[in-house]
């Protein structure tokens, strides 16, 4: 597909055979190439010169992208995205940071093409499902934010049929969906603080940004925010939202790591049988004094403001 003059390509193949300005692969803090894609494809064909040049920069910090010249590959450069460190577990933030840093590196060096492997998806790493969505979000960010992008082609190159199928579906579907909304400006969403069984209901998100969150979602074209919050609550946690009222509007452009969203938050009571549905991985009732550690967006701050309001009224 093509977005704003940039070709987005998802292909199954050998990334070392891709003719591009740079290929991106993940690495550890010591920039060694002993495992996985780096050892069995890139290092072998690069005659080890890539590793020798890279380790001159060690030790590197998590989130760094080290650029090295290439011998023996079709690409001109390799970008070493530092994503692994002792006792560090691959997470959403490091995949997002690494994808963004790689795109920024390509822009800074006036590259016209780049090829990504499945970042963070090595042994015991992240799932193809989550990585593909995060990386697609960062491609969208680059296309949206760069006024004069140098990149004309962004490739996702996957080794296996499984990884290719997941990336092909998620990258294409996500970018097609989001570009349909580009003309609408900031995206309008709704969230619900749903009072239920002496607590409030939170959902465990199955899509990045990951973590626990208030149930909610996007307002459809031609839909009121009141209708949207009732629909989203029903779709995500199978409850009817009753006796609901407006709580607040959240419009900080940085509240959502994907793009600018403005959310209208409602409070109300949940009626029915609680069950996770739609794109919610799970649903659970939390007491207000025992919120989960990992929460998405600005939802912890929203709930804390809700708690303060309750305290003032008693």
pLDDT digits (tens, 9 = 90+) for 53-71: 555 555 678 888 988 887 6
Domain total of the chain: 2
Q: Are residues 47 and 75 in the same domain?
A: yes
pLDDT of residue 179: 74
Q: Let me know whether 15 and 111 are in one domain.
A: yes
Domain match, 84 and 193 both: no
Residue 46 has pLDDT above 70, yes or no: no
- Structural domain including 272 reads 184-313
pLDDT at 197 over 90: yes
> How many CB atoms lie under 10 A from the CB of residue 97?
20
Q: What is the pLDDT of residue 89?
A: 81
Please give the residue that has the higher pLDDT: either 72 or 279: 279
Residues 225, 145, single domain; the answer is no
Which residue, 180, 210, 228, sits at the end of a domain?
Answer: 180
| Structure confidence at residue 39 as a pLDDT band (50, 70, 90) | very low
Kindly state whether residues 271 and 291 are assigned to the same domain.
yes
Residues 36 and 132 in one domain: yes
- Give the CA-trace dihedral at 91, 258, 255, 88, to 10 degrees: 10
Query: Which of the four pLDDT bands, split at 50, 70 and 90, describes residue 182?
Result: low
Residue 311 in this model has a pLDDT that exceeds 80: yes
- Say whether both 143 and 275 belong to one domain: no
**What is residue 47's predicted lDDT score, i.e. its pLDDT?**
47
Domain finish residue from 146, 180, 214? 180
Among 22-31, 41-50, 260-269, name the one with the lowest average pLDDT.
41-50
For residues 202-216, give the mean pLDDT: 95
Task: Please report the pLDDT score of residue 78 as a whole number.
Answer: 87
Return the CATH number at 244. Answer: 3.90.79.10
**Alpha-carbon span 187 to 173, nearest angstrom:** 18
What's the pLDDT at 235?
A: 96
Q: Are 96 and 226 members of one domain?
A: no
Residues 67 and 171 in one domain: yes
Q: Which of 180, 214, 245 is the last residue of a domain?
A: 180
Q: What is the pLDDT at residue 201? A: 98
Q: Please give the pLDDT value at position 314.
A: 74
Verify that 176 and 188 share a domain, yes or no: no
Query: Which pLDDT belongs to residue 178?
Result: 76
Q: Phi, psi (5° rounding) for residue 87? A: 65, 10
The confidence band for 221, taking pLDDT boundaries of 50, 70 and 90, is confident
Give pLDDT tens digits for 83-100. 877 767 889 999 999 999
Over residues 119-150, the pLDDT tens digits come to: 998 766 789 999 999 999 999 999 988 989 99
pLDDT band at 177 (very low <50, low <70, confident <90, very high): confident
Average pLDDT of the chain is: 88
The confidence score (pLDDT) of residue 42 equals 58
Do 190 and 105 share a domain, yes or no?
no
Residues 272 and 208 in one domain: yes
Position 55 scores a pLDDT of: 55
Mean pLDDT within 258-285: 94
Task: Report the range of poorest mean pLDDT among 39-48, 101-110, 133-142, 271-280.
Answer: 39-48
């Amino acid at each position: 597909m093509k977005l704003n003059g940039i070709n987005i390509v998802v292909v199954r193949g050998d990334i070392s055979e891709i003719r591009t300005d740079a290929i991106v692969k993940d690495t550890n803090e010591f920039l060694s190439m002993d495992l996985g894609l780096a050892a069995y494809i890139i290092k072998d064909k690069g005659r080890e010169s890539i590793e020798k040049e890279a380790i001159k920069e060690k030790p590197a910090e998590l989130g760094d992208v080290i650029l090295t010249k290439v011998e023996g590959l079709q690409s001109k450069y390799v970008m070493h995205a530092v994503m692994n460190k002792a006792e560090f577990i691959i997470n959403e933030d490091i995949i997002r940071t690494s994808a963004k840093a790689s795109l920024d590196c390509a822009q800074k060096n006036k590259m016209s093409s780049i090829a990504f492997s499945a970042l963070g998806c090595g042994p015991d790493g992240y799932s193809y499902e989550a990585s593909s969505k995060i990386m697609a979000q960062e491609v969208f960010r680059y296309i949206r934010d760069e006024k004069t992008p140098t990149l004309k082609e962004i490739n996702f190159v996957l080794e296996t049929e499984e990884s290719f199928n997941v990336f092909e579906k998620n990258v294409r579907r996500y970018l097609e969906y989001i570009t349909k909304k580009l003309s609408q400006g900031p995206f309008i969403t709704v969230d619900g603080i749903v009072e239920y069984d002496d607590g409030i209901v939170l959902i465990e998100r199955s899509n990045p940004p990951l973590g626990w969150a208030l149930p909610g979602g996007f307002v459809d074209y031609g839909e009121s925010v009141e209708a949207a919050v009732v629909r989203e609550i029903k779709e995500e946690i199978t409850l009817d939202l009753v006796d609901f009222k407006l709580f607040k509007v959240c419009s900080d452009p940085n509240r959502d790591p994907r793009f600018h969203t403005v959310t209208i938050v409602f409070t109300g009571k949940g009626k029915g049988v609680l069950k996770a549905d739609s794109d919610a991985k799970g649903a659970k009732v939390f007491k207000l004094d025992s919120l989960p550690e990992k929460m998405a967006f600005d939802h912890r701050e929203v709930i804390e403001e809700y708690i303060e309001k309750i305290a003032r009224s008693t």
